[in-house]
Structure 1
Amino acid sequence: MKDPYNRKYRIYAFNCNNPPGGRPINEYKIVLNVGQEQGKRGNFDYSDGCFPIVIGYVKQHDVFVLWDSTKHKDFGFNKNMQVKSETILRALASPTSLQKRRTWNGEETIIAARSEYLIDALNKRISLLHDEMVGE
């Protein structure tokens, strides 16, 4: 993806699924580990001027889910990041689907999109991050 500002991104990609037990039936999740050891806290890597992008892939629906990396800091080993099933299903009927979700670090906007609209979803994620950083 060509970025007009020559920004660099670090992609964190995970399987996103709805396993039985542990989570409500109407939620999908990713299990977040970024290389930290069990029992250690994790953070996304912003080194070298890279901005982290967190993506989950729901194989059975061919849908990508993008979370707001700025809303997830100092997290535990095997932290879950959730998205509602409804958000994924709405992405099957439109180019992108948005969901608001509260976190310890403020409200995030989760974006879901079918694979053919992944670039649109990435551009939306980057636009939302930019707007938040400049206070729009």
Structure 2
Amino acid sequence: MLYQRFVRALGDSVLTDLETISVTTKPLDLLCRAPLPRKVRLYVFNCTDHPSERKAGDYRIQLRLPGQRRRQRACLALDPGVLVLLAGYVAEFDVFVFWDAIAHSEFPYSKGIQVSATTVHHAAIHGQGGQRREVRRSGGYPEQVLAVRADRLVTGLRRREELTRQSLLKSPIRSSVT
């Protein structure tokens, strides 16, 4: 469902035929056409406003990869030349949220990552919203979170690609990625 919604929102920009691949495993590797990067790797999770959040009303995803067990760490597959997307989908607003995949590339079982309700609601109303948050890794890392309504997904992915490039140039954690 999540992959299908994502690909449907990208429309003709996606060259990969979902009928020929498994859409039940993470990640989903896509081939795309311009203006998107040629290779996109998608990790997408349901994004919910769970009542146990630190800040009431915030949305979050729970990072767990297939086969990952309790007390086991996992890593996102970061490869040169591939735009890696760490995303959440807020179905009630048809909004995708994109976090900095590099900042969350290594994580413990069921790690929660948040986005403010204001950012999600802004995207639902205006098409796009963003926020800056500190990641508690490497002494604090400024992360730019982007939320986009599904009908603005192509523009949103281009913006996420730009934010990722900026992150790589400024990142104190990039040495572990390159």
TM-score by length of 1: 0.87
Shift of 1:72: 1.0
Q: Share of identical aligned residues, percent?
A: 30
Q: Secondary structure at the match of 1:13?
A: strand
Coordinate RMSD, CA, aligned:
2.1
- Bigger fraction of residues in strand: 1
Rate the CA distance shift 1:6–1:22 in 2: closer, same or farther, 3 A. Answer: closer
Report if the CA contact (8 A) 2:36-2:157 is conserved.
no
Contact 2:59 2:115 in 1 (8 A): yes
Which 5+ residue runs of structure 2 have no aligned equivalent?
A: 1-12, 14-32, 171-178
Give the number of equivalent residue pairs: 135
1:111-130: CA deviations, max 9, x gaps?
01111011111110001112
Point out the more displaced range, 77-86 or 33-42: 33-42
Matches of 1:6 and 1:93 in 2, distance apart? 27
Q: What is aligned with 2:129?
A: 97
| Change over 3 Å in CA distance of 1:6–1:124 after alignment to 2 | closer
Supply the distance in 2 between the matched residues of 1:4 and 1:18 (Cα, whole angstroms): 32
Note if 1:44 corresponds to 2:76.
yes
Distance 1:99-1:48 versus aligned 2 partners, 3 A rule: closer
Q: How far, CA to CA, are the matches of 1:16 and 1:100 in structure 2? A: 18
2:36 touches 2:158 (CA, 8 Å); kept in 1?
A: no
Give CA deviations for 1:88-124 in whole Å, capped at 9, x if unaligned.
1111222210100100241110001111011111110
Partner of 1:121: 156
Unaligned 5+ segments in structure 1 are: none
**CA distance in 2: counterparts of 1:64 and 1:5, whole angstroms:** 16
